[in-house]
């Protein structure tokens, strides 16, 4: 067989095979899709410069990135998770902020299981991502530890493992009723030597000396010498007692202009199942065009064992924030106040007042540069610059 005839046969064979392969049903034609086609990668990150001038000038650069993965498992199931990678001291920290499965098969009810952001107030669940938060740090109510003890604040950004149910009901053409309820592992008693995944990688904490620690020194009153045990949130995946945290939130939403939420929880945080922790929150948001007003107030009642029996330490705090867009610029003002915490009329935690003045420049809809000067009326002022992004 000559060479030209061989080439002709090879060409005919190649064309025939190509025609047969083209006629075969593909995965797309049979309805089977690649898992990547149902996956969305999003997230946010930031680089932050922070400086304080106490006995000596101290400044730090920090950086973090939080990828969010969404995976649709058919029309009724959604898996979502957020990881966080950041700098804390001399190490790179990794934390699991949430990992949950959402069942969407009901008309107005969503059932969630896994580790999720608790719908206690609004900031933890919706506002803490750096490109959404209009300040480079968190309000005084919240330390930015993802699980663990929030130094200098009432609580960290709250997440926990359990089950959450959401219900949404339009009451008329303008108002919507928003209900959430959850059962989760709950907080635990944290000793000074305990270690966990709490950290403050974005410079959001209000106590740099203790940033990144899950256990902290016990506070004492100089008169009564009352020890205040530290509480860790979202770090107990093996429950330390027989109790679970029960919580709920009710909200009234008027379109995009007004929202009000009342939320609360109850748990026992000690291994003996004796000590109660009760939290209540009132949150409001008002938006009128480029103007935005928001605020939250928290009441935290922590039961403590003293020489005279069991007593409650009452901690109250709130913040108010106003922002106004002028094209790409946005001035922001935030006032935060932690009242004195008392036990049997004895002050065991000092009052704290913070006034933050900020100016944001929006490079893009999800890329702000934020500059802030925070005045601490009872401590050290802070200057911060943050470049945040969402993707």
Question: Coil, helix or strand for 11?
Answer: helix
Give domain status of residue 3, yes or no: no
pLDDT of 171 higher than 60: yes
Q: How far apart are the first and last CA of the chain?
A: 63
Within-domain flag for 28: no
Segment 314-333, tens digit of pLDDT: 999 999 999 999 999 999 99
Q: Do the domain assignments include residue 209?
A: yes
27-83 pLDDT per residue, tens: 444 445 566 779 999 999 999 999 998 878 889 999 999 999 999 988 899 999 999
Closest C-alpha to 373, from 388, 353, 354 = 354
Could you tell me if residue 305 is inside a domain? yes
Where are the alpha helices (H) located in the chain, listed in sequence order? 3-23
Task: Choose among 108, 234, 110, 107: nearest CA to 164.
Answer: 110
Q: Which of 204, 208, 230, 206 is nearest to 86 (CA)?
A: 204
Q: Is residue 16 part of a domain?
A: no
The confidence band for 348, taking pLDDT boundaries of 50, 70 and 90, is: confident
For residues 124 and 157, the answer to whether their CB atoms sit within 8 Å is yes
Count of domains for the chain:
1
Phi, psi of 36 (to 5 degrees): -65, -25
Percent of the chain's residues with pLDDT above 70:
80
Q: Please write the tens of the pLDDT for every residue from 361-382.
A: 999 999 999 999 999 998 899 9
Residue range of the domain that includes 327: 35-390
Reported as type and span, the H/E element at residue 62 is strand 57-73
* Contact present, 196 and 133 (Cβ < 8 Å): no
Per-position DSSP letters for 95-112, written without gaps between them: EEEEEEEEE--SSSEEEE
| In-domain check, residue 316 | yes
DSSP code of residue 210: G
CB neighbour list of residue 340: distance below 8 Å, 6 or more residues apart: 347, 349, 350, 351
Quote the CA–CA distance of 193 and 85 in Å, as a whole number: 24
Task: For residue 276, tell me if it sits in a domain.
Answer: yes
Cα–Cα distance between 304 and 315 in angstroms, integer? 13
* Top mean-pLDDT range of 2-11, 25-34, 159-168, 306-315: 159-168
Looking at residue 305, what is its pLDDT? 84
> Domain holding 47: CATH number?
2.40.160.10
Which pLDDT score, from 0 to 100, does residue 193 have? 54
Confidence of residue 173 (pLDDT cuts 50, 70, 90): confident
1 assigned to some structural domain: no
What are the helix (H) ranges across 24-162?
none
The whole-angstrom separation of Cα 16 and Cα 177 is: 64
């Amino acid at each position: 067989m000559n060479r030209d005839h061989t080439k002709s046969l090879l060409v005919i064979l190649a064309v025939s095979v190509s025609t047969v392969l083209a006629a075969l049903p593909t995965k797309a034609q049979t309805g089977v899709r690649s898992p990547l086609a149902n996956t969305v990668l999003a997230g946010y990150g930031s680089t932050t410069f922070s400086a304080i001038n106490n006995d000596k000038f101290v400044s730090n650069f920090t950086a973090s990135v939080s990828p969010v993965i969404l995976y649709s498992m058919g029309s009724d199931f959604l898996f979502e998770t957020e990881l966080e990678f950041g700098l804390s001291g001399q190490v790179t920290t990794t934390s699991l902020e949430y990992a949950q499965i959402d069942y969407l098969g009901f008309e107005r009810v969503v059932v969630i299981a896994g580790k999720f952001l608790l719908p206690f107030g609004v900031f933890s669940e919706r506002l803490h991502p750096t490109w959404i938060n209009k300040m480079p740090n968190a309000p005084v109510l919240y330390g930015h530890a993802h699980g663990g003890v929030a130094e200098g604040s009432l609580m960290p950004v709250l997440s926990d493992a359990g089950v959450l149910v959401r219900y949404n009901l339009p009451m008329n053409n303008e108002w919507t009723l928003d209900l959430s309820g959850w059962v989760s592992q709950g907080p635990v008693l944290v000793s000074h030597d305990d270690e966990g995944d709490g950290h403050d990688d974005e410079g959001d904490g209000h106590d740099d000396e203790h940033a990144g620690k899950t256990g902290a020194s016990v506070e004492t009153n100089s008169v009564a010498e009352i020890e205040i045990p530290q509480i860790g949130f979202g770090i107990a995946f093996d429950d330390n007692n027989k109790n679970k945290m029960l919580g709920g939130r009710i909200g009234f939403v008027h379109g995009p202009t007004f929202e009000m939420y009342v939320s609360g929880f109850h748990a026992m945080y000690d291994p003996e199942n004796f000590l109660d922790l009760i939290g209540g929150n009132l949150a409001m948001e008002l938006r009128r065009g480029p103007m935005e007003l928001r605020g939250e107030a928290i009441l935290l009642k922590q039961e403590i064992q003293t020489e005279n029996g069991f007593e409650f330490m009452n901690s109250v705090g709130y913040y108010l924030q106003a922002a106004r867009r002028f094209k790409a610029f946005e001035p922001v003002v935030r006032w935060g106040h932690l009242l004195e915490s008392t036990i049997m009329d004895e002050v065991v935690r000092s009052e704290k007042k913070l006034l933050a003045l900020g100016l944001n420049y929006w490079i893009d809809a999800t890329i702000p540069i934020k500059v802030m000067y925070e005045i601490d009326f009872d401590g050290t002022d802070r200057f911060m610059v943050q470049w945040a992004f969402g993707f």
